Amino acid sequence: MAVNYNAKEEADGHPSGGVGAAGGGAAGGVGKSRKPDNTAFKQQRLPAWQPILTAGTVLPAFFIIGLIFIPIGIGIFVTSNNIREYEIDYTGTDSSSPCNKCLNVSWNSTPPCTCTINFTLDRPFETNVFMYYGLSNFYQNHRRYVKSRDDSQLNGDNSSLINPSKECEPYRTSDNKPIAPCGAIANSMFNDTLELFRIDNDTRISIPLNKKGIAWWTDKNVKFRNPSGHTNNLTAIFQALDTTKPVNWPQPVYMLDTLEPDNNGFINEDFIVWMRTAALPTFRKLYRLIEKRDSLQPTLQAGTYSLDITYNYPVHSFDGRKRMILSTISWMGGKNPFLGIAYITVGSICFFLGVVLLVIHHKYGNRNTSADIPN
Amino acid sequence: MADPIRWARYRWQRLVSTEGRDGSSSSFSCDKCYQSSKMSGRHRIVIPCLGHFKEEYEKVSKLYMNNRIRTTKYTLFNFIPRNLFEQFHRAANLYFLFLVVLNWVPLVEAFQKEITMLPLVVVLTIIAIKDGLEDYSKYKLDKQINNLLTKVYSRQEKKYIDQCWKDVNVGDFIRLSCNEIIPADMVLLYSTDPDGICHIETASLDGETNLKQRQVVKGYTEQVSEIDPEKFSSRIECESPNNDLSRFRGFVEHSNKERVGLSRENLLLRGCTIRNTEAVVGIVVYAGHETKTMLNNSGPRYKRSKLERRVNTDVLWCVLLLILMCLIGAFGHGIWLSSYPEIPLFNVPEPDGKFTPPALAGFYMFWTMIILLQVLIPISLYVSIEVVKLGQIYLIQNDIDLYDEKTDSTIQCRALNIAEDLGQIQYIFSDKTGTLTENKMVFRRCSIAGQEYCHEENAKRLESYQEADSDEDLAGTLCGSLSRMPKKKVHSCRTASGPLNQLADGSSALGGEEGASDVPHSRHVAFSSPIETDVVPDAQLLEKFSQISSHSDALSEETDREPSLETVYIADFFLALAICNTVVVSAPNQPRQKMRLSSVGRMPIKSLEEIKQMFQRLSVRRLSSSPVPSAKESSSESPSTFVSKLSIFRVKLASPAMEGVAQMAKDPGASDSPKCPKHCDAGSSLKQSPISNLCYEAESPDEAALVHAAKAYKCTLQSRTPDQVTVDLAALGPLTFQLLHILPFDSVRKRMSVVVRHPLSNKVVVYTKGADSVIMDLLRAAPAELEQKNIKERTQKHLDDYARRGLRTLCIAKKVMSDEEYAEWLNSHFLAETSIDNKEELLLESAMKLETKLTLLGATGIEDRLQEGVPDTIEALRKAGIKIWMLTGDKQETAVNIACACRLLEPDDKIYTLKSLSKDACALLMNTILEDIQKTMYARKNHSSKIMSIFQAPSTQAPEFSASLVIDGKTLEYVLHESLQSIFLELTERCRAVVCCRATPLQKSEVVRLVRNKLKVMTLAIGDGANDVSMIQVADIGIGLSGQEGMQAVMASDFAISQFKHLSKLLLVHGHWCYTRLANMVLYFFYKNVAYVNLLFWYQFFCGFSGTSMTDYWVLIFFNLLFTSVPPIIYGILDKDISARILMQLPELYVTGQKSEVYSPPTFWITLLDAFYQSLVCFFVPYFTYRGSDIDVFSFGNPLNTAALFVILLHLLIESKTLTWIHVTIMIGSILFYFVFALTFGATCKTCNPPSNPYWTMEKHMTDPVFYLVCIITTSVALLPRYLFRVLQWTLFPSPVLKAKHLDRQTPKKQREVITKKDDRVGKCRMGFQSTSACSRSAEDTSSVRGSTDHSSYIPVSKTPFQTCPGGSSEQEASFISGLQDEFRDVNSLNCERAAFLNSSKEIYSETSGANNSCIDVPEFTFEKGNSDISLKNKAGLNCSLNDQDVLM
């Protein structure tokens, strides 16, 4: 049976005893009507745009999308097709390959295994040419690999040089000396040397390869910095900090480019490029620039070239592949027809759907509108 | 009938406790209870905090709490640990904690350790802030209460000094003045009232504003001067603190070891207010948290909504999905690792230089994946749901349509987390009285001695009231009547009505205000709006009644002379009306009389002769003296003496035969000692003017109505004390009846009786009033008395007639007892009262023994008017596919009639009545009905199977055939028996409406529970009284109506509204919105999380399942926390699929929520599929674009992330039904925030956040056209299917909701105005017409409603009222109909649209009345805007249909 004389709780969970009375008094004291404000927001009458997605209303959108996407797609596709690209796999897995002998090379084998591959460009490369090395099946995006670095060390922080981050383990110290640069990424740095020659009537003309300007400007100038010390001598600084080279490296970091001080140490651009870990297991990394020198002549004429490789980097163990890629570049980067095709396809689909919707609209749309609107 | 149950029980207990205190019996029982409590060791000793008890006091009081209260959960110091502890009780938070801990394990660490903590910390902080704020407001309130001042006796200063509540201790003496709040539970030791009573108001406890009396502990009553705490040398022993408000046991032990029992009547409860008593002194027995009020506070109810339960199951699915994905990751990683013959370069060894074997690495990877993909479990969803619900509740509470002007109250949402359940209700269980009806009882008719008195003038008066209804009620608000009124107003009234306390300073107020305030004061009290009070007497009856004055001695000599039997009957009838109740009389402006009266209240007893003589003398004198209404002071002299003598007279009247008993009862020390009326009876009677100043505080509206009716015949109840009732008869002057017993109402006996001693005949008379079914059986069955038999028959006929008119009927009977008979009964009754075991049963038995061989006097018919808008609401709710059950305590005829009136039962319904005497018969009957229904349905279905409805309600029956079921209370009992439940449910499922009559509160809740549990449906219970509380608590949603009957229902409810009609907007609009919004938001959250997390998952296929994320961790975490969290919340609060107007006009749209169409397993899985598709697109478009290039990890992640942001936000845009500036702002804000964050982070974070350092990534991309191209194409491809799907859905398969939205949009403004205008006019029309009887009113109501909302269904409904009452309503009706036809011109345009709309959706309204299809078609298809012959056609259609109706009828 219902309890007839039962004090229930107040709305706010507060005891009804004192509060009921006190609250009542307070409410009475204010003497304000509890009538809610008649505002558009509180009464949920805010002016609103109500999108109605019927065939009739969205028709134009589909056509417009189609009409915009198709030209864009064509533009991208054409641009992409105009890019000249040449690629050589020099891994040497094929026994006929000149580099086959170097296949089972290990780090720092002395003397270094070298091989030369000749190739022919059918058409000239007119603009600046970018020379890449490409690796396949190399998981630079492995979680533990990606984090095996110390950014503050690379930024020239002395304390991090002395005491690298734990993330670098097990490439943090070697013989109780801190490794500079520490970590697995640095340790596994790509160390093949590629040289390009044009063979003109059996003479090998060396093609000048620019090794600067291949890294992001901000990386080179802000993110990566050499440690500072009393002297400008990088060697002295690193030695003073008592660091050691990464295990796989033939020489310490301050000897990456002994010829040019602004490309040495942590700000060596090859190093910086390597340190920007690739997103996908098949990737390319910028190696050198071949700048156009003569406005009359193409950067790379059609003809026979030879690629000299100092084969140091072992990829065979994990079934990796090494490639050398020559490519020109456009406003949208390297050669990739996908985007253009995608735009064309989507544009066409939209256009097609527009037509379908037009049919639907004519067939069914009228029925609806006539039913909805009297007269 | 339902409400008396409540007060009867309360009264019963009061009476029991009052009488239990009498003399020796009370001390006996108290000793006993003390012993029993002592045995269990559960009692407390209260010792006054005074000198000679000091040591003992200090010893004892240390054990008891002081009066400081702390309702807060936390303190400043334990807030953080305790809050954390509370929060980690939630599974979701534990999951997060688990993830955090997991991330600290180096082997599986996926993110930086600190970053994983971020979501947890944010969630915990938000919740903690919310809890903290809540707690702080409680703290402030506590502080406010703790620092209230009260007067506490100080030992040092030997006087009462002001102290804070918190410093009050057990054993303190407290002195309270009028209108002060009681700070702690205390025993009343002194009252300025000479009778030792004190009035308290318990409004803050239970919302009841009628005053309750409390009694000074006996033995202290006689003290002339105020009690001196110094001299108080007794100790009090009482029970240990408990939460039983209706019980208090203990005793006072005086220094001489004499014990005096204490009862509930001596206890002043914390939180109540002292009223009408100048000052009281009490000793604190329970303080602070040990007070009964505080012990009655339980935590807020926590309900889980249906939607949330679904969410939980879907979260489990997400968990499964997560585990699956993690397993893929784990196996993938293991396989990937083992595919390498030797360790590859990029596989970094463990710090110790060793390599983990593939299997183990896979195992670790599983956990890493869980961390990485954790967002799949939408933890933020829980927080968002909370926030959205708060927002929704805020909007509901601010709906102006749910505001009731009359009571200045708007909807109260007491449960914050079940708003969306409002949109899914399938069954409504409604109380009748006070819920569907106004619970304003209006005396309509009576039948005395077999002669009916129609009270036509009264009916006319009521008609006129209807017109002025609103004005009146407005006036009513000016001086609040019940708890629904603002407190302030009640208070002001109270103070005005009890100025006796203000004598010292209030003389000016008395003089100044009185004249003006007299009249309104009479209305202050509950159940006393003018509609109820001003009864216009029936001329014929008045004439007969006034004859009494000519033979003024008729009454006194009734037994000897019998001047005219009928006259005696009439006089007795009105006396019974006036006496047989528990109404408390108060007159606002006679304070002085009371004082004086009291001072002479105990004069020496004179002989009976003397008093008789005096009575004669006085009545003569009174007749001669002229009323002096303005000069109270002067006129008060004589009446006071008069009354004082009357009171003596009363005491003296105790006949020798019952001397002993009387002695006991009248023992001056006993609590039952003569109490004076609150206000002077005699004084007011002397100067009584036509407008009486008396206030009747009735506990049920029926009582008030009857008393007011009696008053209209100049048979005025003047005063009532526990011992006497004074009735002022116009002809005879005031008669004081000695009140011997009140046998209160209870639901078993269904009647109440008073036993009085007639002052003139000096006989013991029993007046009984009760339900006709019981009274008729108790009548004196003397076959010889033909007259009486005749009366009985005729009265029964009248009663049946009343019931058919929907009136509440009561029979009035009396019985004259000889002193011997009475003494005999009294002895047995005394035994019953004094027994301890099964006292209640014995009392019941005793009462039954008394109430036999009654003489029927007559019967009354009281009208309980339907609330405004009830039929419309019920109509709308039914169209919404909700089944409505009416559960009432009323008798079947009344219930059915009200059900008809409010369109719960329709005239063309087939009504089955389930009424049987045994369980087997009941089962048989139900089977028969079921077969019959099936047969009929089968026949009809063949007839109309071709017509299908889109809006068809989920009910099983064909729409044109509707069966209704009426169940009797007794049968209900059988039906609820387990063996019959299933067949009963099967039966009710086929019925459109079910009416349960004579249902007890327990049965009500059982019915609700049965339907809810067995049918697995969403139920809503709505009621206003204490008898609905159990039902309200059982249902999924309980709605309390803050009406005439106190606050219990409101206190127990989830939502409290002030009018039944608000229910339609609450359910149809807010319920629909809340459900759709929340359901959509939940789906969106699932989508969002799955879509985003899958990006990470797809990447695992390209990083050797190593758990790399291509986005930097901050962006990853913030993506859910910041960039995409606000738009869905705004969407959840503000999205509006259809406007309120359309939702109200097309209740059929509610079905969406009932069927959980928006958020059901299919929609969930479709959403997940879409999420998978979108994530695939989002990943692989950038993948193919950047494949083979020199892109680095985070540069690859950036376009992915950006595209995902656009996809996710634009997806929301597609799903949004409305876009306001808020949406747009938030949306743009989110995108901007993302870019600003990414740019800032990219520019400043040189070496931070290793290893995922996003330095300059965004900047680089912002200058790269490919980035934009990728984002654009990704977004387009990802959203294309959903967009196309929506477009096709709109175009080809529009759901009702979409159609309604279209309609909504296309409705021109002008038409909108027309609708509102028309609604107003129809409303007015209705108001003016709402008059003669419930039934005819219902017919008009519905017709006008139909006219306003739905033309096609207007005509079938506008049939002639199924019951016409005399009073010339037919003419009015005719004019009404023609008026409506005029309206049609306005309605036209809308109707056309509606008709077309409904038609297009294959609506089958036109089938509702079967035969008259053709007629309906006319208005449907020929309406044209501006066409001049519309009305003609219209009329034709109308006439046609009306004819059809006639045929049908």
**Chain B residues within 8 A of A134 when measuring between CB atoms:** 1188
CA B1275/CA A159 separation, integer angstroms: 46
Note the pLDDT tens digit of each residue in B343-393: 888 888 888 878 888 899 999 999 999 988 988 887 778 888 888 988 999
| pLDDT above 60 for B1331 | no
Tell me the C-alpha to C-alpha distance, in Å, between residue B1139 and each of A37, A44, B275, B670: 19, 9, 49, 66
Question: For position B588, what pLDDT does the model report?
Answer: 52
Q: Is the pLDDT of residue B186 over 80?
A: yes
Q: Does B745 carry a binding-site annotation?
A: yes
Q: Could you report the predicted ipTM of this complex, rounded to two decimals?
A: 0.91
pLDDT over 80 at B1051, yes or no? no
Q: Is B1364 annotated as a binding residue?
A: no
Interface of B with A in 1406-1425 (CB under 8 A): 1424-1425
Distance CA A253, CA A263 (A): 11
Q: What span, in angstroms and rounded, lies between the C-alpha atoms of A31 and B788?
A: 58
Which residue of chain B has the CA closest to A190?
B345
pLDDT digits (tens, 9 = 90+) for B525-554: 444 555 666 677 777 777 777 766 555 444
Question: Is B1291 assigned to a binding site?
Answer: no
- In this model, does residue B72 exceed pLDDT 90? no
Q: What element of type H or E holds B199? A: strand B197-201
Q: Comparing C-alpha atoms, which of B1402, B975, B1169 is closest to residue B317?
A: B1169
Question: Quick one: pLDDT at residue B352?
Answer: 80
Specify which residues A284 forms β-bridges with.
A134
Catalytic, out of B431, B723, B1350, B1444: B431
Name the more confident of B1093 and B1341: B1093
B135 is catalytic: no
**Measured CA distances, B41 to B45, B189, B384 (Å):** 12, 26, 51
Instruction: Tell me the average pLDDT across B808-814.
Output: 85
Question: Does B331 appear as a known binding residue?
Answer: no
pLDDT of B1448 strictly over 60: no
- Judging by beta carbons within 10 Å of its beta carbon (0-12, 13-18, 19+), is residue A238 exposed, middle or buried? buried
Is the pLDDT reported for residue B1348 higher than 50? no
Question: In the predicted model, is pLDDT for residue B1212 greater than 90?
Answer: yes
Among B278-292, B918-932, B947-961, which stretch is predicted with the lowest mean pLDDT? Answer: B947-961
Measured at the CA of B581, the angle between CA B577 and CA B587, to 5 degrees, comes to 90
Task: Give residue A132's pLDDT.
Answer: 95
pLDDT 10s digits, B301-351? 567 788 888 888 898 899 999 999 999 999 999 999 999 888 888 888 888
Q: Which residue's entry shows tokens 């230089």?
A: B353
Nearest to B848 by CA among B770, B781, B907: B770
Task: Provide the pLDDT for residue B34.
Answer: 36
Q: Which two tokens stand for residue B562?
A: 């019998």
**Residue of B294, B356, B1291, B1316 best to disrupt the A interface, most CBs of A under 10 A:** B1291
User: Closest Cα to residue B741, out of B774, B761, B719, B766?
Assistant: B766
Weakest-pLDDT range from A192-196, B159-163, B1266-1270, B1445-1449: B1445-1449
Among candidates B1070, B1059, B1246, B1242, which has minimal Cα distance to B1144?
Answer: B1070
Contact check, Cβ <8 Å, A2/B1026: yes
| B288 interface with A at CB cutoff 8 Å | no
Token code pair at residue B1056:
């409290």
Segment holding B214, helix H or strand E = strand B211-215
More confident residue, B15 or B936: B936
Does B242 or A118 have the greater pLDDT score? A118
Residue A326 has pLDDT above 90, yes or no: yes
Distance CA(B1022)–CA(B432), nearest Å, equals 9
Q: What percent of chain B has pLDDT over 90?
A: 15
- Residue-wise pLDDT tens digits, B1010-1049: 999 889 899 999 988 767 877 888 889 999 887 665 666 7
pLDDT for position B1354: 31
User: Hey, of B345, B367, B408, B1196, which one would you mutate to test binding to chain A, going by the most A CBs within 10 A of its CB?
Assistant: B345
Higher pLDDT, A294 or B546: A294
Alpha helices in B1358-1429 (DSSP H): 1369-1400, 1413-1422
pTM of the complete model: 0.73
Assess whether pLDDT exceeds 90 at residue B1196: yes
Tell me which residue in B400, B1260, B1286 faces A38 most closely, judged by beta carbons: B400
Provide mean pLDDT across the span A178-193: 91
User: What pLDDT band is residue B1306 in, cutting at 50, 70 and 90?
Assistant: low
Using a CB-CB cut-off of 8 Å, the residues of chain A touching B1303 are 372
For the segment B886-898, the average pLDDT, to the nearest whole number, is 80
More confident residue, B859 or B1252: B859
Of B69, B488, B1303, the CB nearest to A372: B1303
| pLDDT: which is higher, B1345 or B1217 | B1217
CB within 8 A of B604, min separation 6: which ones?
Answer: B648
* B932 membership: H or E segment, kind and range: helix B919-944
A21 or B139: whose pLDDT is higher? B139
Say if CB B1243 and CB A75 are below 8 A apart: no
Reported as a single tens digit per residue, the pLDDT across A296-309 is 888 898 999 999 99
Contact flag A346-B1273 (C-beta cutoff 8 Å): yes
* B1027 marked as binding residue: yes
- The reply to whether residue A368 touches residue B486, judged by beta carbons under 8 angstroms, is no
Residues with Cβ within 8 Å of B992's Cβ and at least 6 positions away in sequence, in order, are B878, B883, B909, B955, B957, B962, B963, B964
DSSP track, B316-358:
HHHHHHHHHHHHHHHHHHHHHHHT-SS--TTSPPPTTS----H
Which of B517-521, B558-562, B652-656, B877-881: highest mean pLDDT?
B877-881
Question: Taking Cα atoms as reference points, which of B604, B609, B600, B610 lies closest to residue B643?
Answer: B600
Residue B779, pLDDT > 50, answer: yes
Which residue among B403, B487, B1250 sits closest to A24, beta carbon to beta carbon?
A: B487
Q: Any idea which of B46-50, B876-880, B1218-1222 has the lowest mean pLDDT?
A: B46-50
Of B299, B342, B414, the CB nearest to A317: B342
pLDDT at B1197 over 80: yes
- Judge whether B246 is closer than 8 Å to chain A, CB to CB: yes
Q: Are B1291 and A364 in contact (CB under 8 A)?
A: yes
Between B348, B1048, B1392, which is nearest A148 by CB?
Answer: B348
- Taking Cα atoms as reference points, which of B807, B751, B805 lies closest to residue B778? B751
Give the range with max mean pLDDT: A159-173, B801-815, B1429-1443: A159-173
Residue of chain A with shortest Cα separation from B413: A11
Which range, of A317-331, B141-155, B381-395, B460-474, averages the lowest pLDDT?
Answer: B460-474
What would the pLDDT profile of B479-509 be if each residue is shown by its tens digit? Answer: 333 333 333 333 333 333 333 333 333 333 3
Residue B1099 or residue B694, greater confidence = B1099
Preferred mutation among A9, A16, A32 to probe B, highest tally of B CBs within 10 A: A16
Interface subset of B 508-567, CB within 8 angstroms of A: none
Whether B1004 has a binding-site annotation, put simply, is yes
pLDDT reading at B627 higher than 60: no
Task: Grade residue B595 by pLDDT with cuts at 50, 70 and 90.
Answer: very low
Find, among B775, B753, B750, B993, the residue nearest to B889 by Cα. B750
| Cα–Cα dist A54/B1301, whole Å | 12
pLDDT over threshold 60, residue B732: yes
Q: What is the pLDDT of residue B495?
A: 34
Q: Identify the closest residue of chain A to B342 by CA–CA distance.
A: A317
The top-scoring range by mean pLDDT among A75-79, B428-432, B704-708, B815-819 is A75-79
Which pLDDT value is given to residue B53?
A: 66
Question: What's chain B's length in residues?
Answer: 1449
Whether residue B713 is predicted with pLDDT greater than 90 in this model: the reply is no
